[in-house]
Structure 1
Amino acid sequence: MNSDFQARSATYRATVERCLAELRRGGAIGLTGRGFAGIALAAEMVEEASFANLQSASPDGAPLDSNGGPRLILTASRAADLGLMPPGGAGRALAICKLPAAIGAEAVRQLADPTTETPDTPALGVTLADDLPLKLAEAAIDLAKAARLLPAAIMIALAPDALTNWVDETFVLDCTGLAAHQRALAGSLKRVGSARVPLHGAENTEIIAFRPADGGKEHLAIVIGNPDPAQPVLIRLHSECFTGDLLGSLRCDCGDQLRGAIETIARNKPGAGSGIVLYLAQEGRGIGLINKLRAYNLQDEGADTLEANLQLGFGADERVYQPAAEMLRQLGFTAVRLLTNNPEKMSGLEQCGIRVVERVPHIFPSNEHNTQYLVTKARRFGHMF
């Protein structure tokens, strides 16, 4: 991790952590920028009391913007599903929506969550607006995602000097530094613990834990055998999957891929039964377990995996590869043979400075519950089966 980042970011990082926790508990946070400020709530967590408090938030009891009232920030894909903008978002990533004065918290939650009853948007009187600084809107959505919530927020703009009248200064974040902070944080891992853990079929195994600088969930390196840093190491990047890895869900192929990777590496002849599985804390392609369960509901209604993510307001794949690359570097490896069917993993590692010298196919039989899922991976994500 860059020493300059370490020196400058401790206080900022603590503020980000407090803001994420506050969003998850339904509280309000303050966001500031160059000459602008606002108060934000996570849309899925809003209740009548917090919504009423937001509506009243200004020095004179009236919002700063000329039209009045809070704004709902949605991703363009969610706004398109609600009929607020054309499919594709007309080249915009976000939609800023004006909410009518009479709207309640439950209706706001329904606007944010496609797994609830679909609201009649025109009848509600929700319309597009363009009167919030884009940096504020982007920061609110980025923080909602980082908090593992739906990417939707309610915000009201305020004069910067009025912000702390409504939000404690410990929950006020300068959003102009958020993007750089998140990029640096992705590679800010520290080795914090390890142990020898014999596995079925791979008894000579060590598990090494790496913790990000924000104290978030650890990533794990499952080191099998004694891989040689002088040679390209056989690896598997595996995003955690609670339902597949632990419960044996038949909706995906994750459990088969994880156990199959361990067995394949243990049989690896060029590496004398050596290699690494990087077990990454990026559930549901980076959207988190709760949102993955929501995506399953949308799939049950006819959406495929990609469509479900977009309907929730996420990208098709929210994972990042800097943590995997950083773990490999700390373990002494810069070149790999990658067990994958996903070309994005190859390019992702390459972009982070890890040389992929070979793609090793990693294919398992389908079942009646995941056949369509695998078809979608091939057709829509470009997986090579």
Structure 2
Amino acid sequence: MSIAPDLTELLARARADLRMGVGVVLTGAGASALVMAAETLHAARLEAVRAMAGETVLAITARRAGTLKARAYDGDLARVRLPPDADHRWVRAVADPADDLTHPMKGPLLSARSGEAALHRTALRLVKSAHLLPAAVVTDLPDGAGFARAHRLTLLPAALADPLLAAASPLAPVAQARVPVEAAGAGRLHVFRPADGGEEHYAFEVGQPRRDAPVLARLHSACFTGDVLGSLKCDCGPQLRAALAQMGAAGAGVLLYLNQEGRGIGLANKLRAYSLQDQGFDTVEANHRLGFEDDERDFRIGADILRRMGFGSVRLMTNNPRKVEMMQAEGIAVAERVPLRVGHTAENAGYLRTKAAKSGHLL
């Protein structure tokens, strides 16, 4: 094995760089580009980039472009041209919808319609995977490899990076131990670590569930506000506790606790969505204004963990038909969907109505 980092390791480094405000160089199809995340962009770095010869644009998703009335000529994204006087505050204002209602006139925004957008598409996938706002400053480079060497930047070939960004990272078991819990009695906690350096995921095994029969299972996405703080804005905390209690009563089950906060957009973006909900947008509209899809989670992770633990069939505790479909598509048989209707409050009534109307949840 070479001492040098492989592509998976370079992607992990690139995510860390972007979160720190450091640029990353992408190459592909005879083109090269410097990519910087809009959320962490430093004023001095933007000034240096704007002094360069290559064209600089702000890549945003079609969802965010729709909010800003910017033309998404590339279909799933828009390459917004930076005005001559645009600074890092302008970039952040276009990327972040926090002040959209108080300062609605950000345009007119002019979008590039000629040229190739493949590297811009990879740039957006990369900043999304870093749990940053889905917006990136992209500058054309004549010699990406040379620029990366000169400035000690991470260099990524887009054609090789794209499949890894789209794939579910392989998981490996790290540790397990007995953990008795109040809701379900005896249990064993398993920790799984992804090969791409991302967040670890957990499986809590209640009792000694059989591997040759459908196991009572719950795929639960991490919700710090609901699970830990007891937020009344969602039904996550009550669902978590009810699932564990049912497994305890049955004597066996497995809870998969997946670190996909905020439907996969991360806690910071989830709180941004909460602020938009306070402005009158529902949960789906808030995600779209941020530039995300309705649900960015990857339930292939749950299927992988179940297989690694020896389970091939589940009685799935969920109100979300998409989880059933994803499990079956990944080869995990769903013998039964077990409804989990708990945690309805006056504070989350609108949220639950939106989940039913726009996301198909069976409530």
Match of 2:95 in 1: 112
- The alignment's TM-score, normalised by the length of structure 1, stands at 0.89
Query: Whole-Å Cα distance in 1 between the matches of residues 148 and 360 of structure 2?
Result: 51
**Aligned residue number for residue 21 of structure 2:** 26
> Which amino acid letter does the alignment assign opposite residue 340 of structure 2?
H
> Contact between 2:239 and 2:343, CA under 8 Å: does it hold in 1?
no
How far apart in 1 are the matches of 2:148 and 2:126? 22
Residues 205/99 of structure 1: CA separation in 2 closer, same or farther (3 Å cut): same
Matched, 1:295 2:290: no
Residue 321 in structure 1 maps to residue 307 in structure 2 = no
Q: Report if aligned partners of 2:36, 2:138 keep a CA contact under 8 Å in 1.
A: yes
The runs of 5 or more residues in structure 1 that have no matched partner are: 1-5, 64-68
- Structure 2's unaligned 5+ residue stretches are none
Task: Name the residue aligned to 2:46.
Answer: 51
Residue type of the alignment partner of 1:109: R
Aligned residues: 360
Cα separation, partners in 2 of 1:119 and 1:103, compared to 1, 3 Å: farther
Structure 1 residue corresponding to 2:331, chosen from 341, 345, 353: 353
Q: What aligned pairs does 1:2-151 form with structure 2 within 5 A after superposition?
A: 11-57=6-52, 62-63=53-54, 69-85=55-71, 92-117=75-100, 118=103, 120-122=105-107, 126-151=109-134
Partner of 1:172: 155
Deviations 1:147-184 (Å, cap 9, x if unpaired)?
A: 11000000111123565267645511111112211344
Compute the displacement of 1:56 (Å).
2.5
**CA separation of 1:170 and 1:306: change in aligned 2, threshold 3 A:** same
Q: 2:282 aligns with which of 301, 304, 320?
A: 304
Letter in 2 for 1:150: L
- The amino acid that maps onto 2:177 is A
Equivalent position of 1:377 in the other structure: 355
- Does the aligned pair in 2 maintain the 1:218–1:281 contact within 8 Å? yes
RMSD of aligned Cα (Å): 1.9
Q: Conserved in 2, the CA contact under 8 Å of 1:71 and 1:99?
A: yes
CA apart distance, 1:28: 1.0
**Paired residue for 1:282?**
260
Q: Structure 1: which amino acid aligns with 2:122?
A: A
- What residue number does 2:142 align with? 159
- Distance in 2, matches of 1:162 and 1:10, equals 16
In 2, the alpha carbon distance for the partners of 1:206 and 1:157 equals 51
Using structure 2 for the length normalisation, give the TM-score.
0.95
Give 1:358's aligned amino acid: E
* CA apart distance, 1:132: 4.9
CA offsets, 1:47-96, max 9 Å, x none?
21010121123xxxx22xxxxx41010111111111213xxx57811001
What percent identity do the matched residue pairs reach?
42
Please give the alpha-carbon distance, in whole angstroms, between the structure 1 residues aligned to 2:186 and 2:150: 53
Match for residue 66 of structure 1?
none
Using the alignment, how far apart are the partners of 1:335 and 1:183 within structure 2?
26
Q: Partners in 1 of 2:152 and 2:28 — Cα distance?
A: 14
In 2, Cα distance between equivalents of 1:224 and 1:325: 18
For 1:256, the equivalent position in structure 2 comes to 238
Distance in 2 separating the partners of 1:161 and 1:373 = 46
SS at match of 1:109: helix
1:337 aligns with 2:315: yes
CA distance in 2, matches of 1:204, 1:280: 21
Distance in structure 1 (CA, Å) of the matches to 2:296 and 2:129: 11
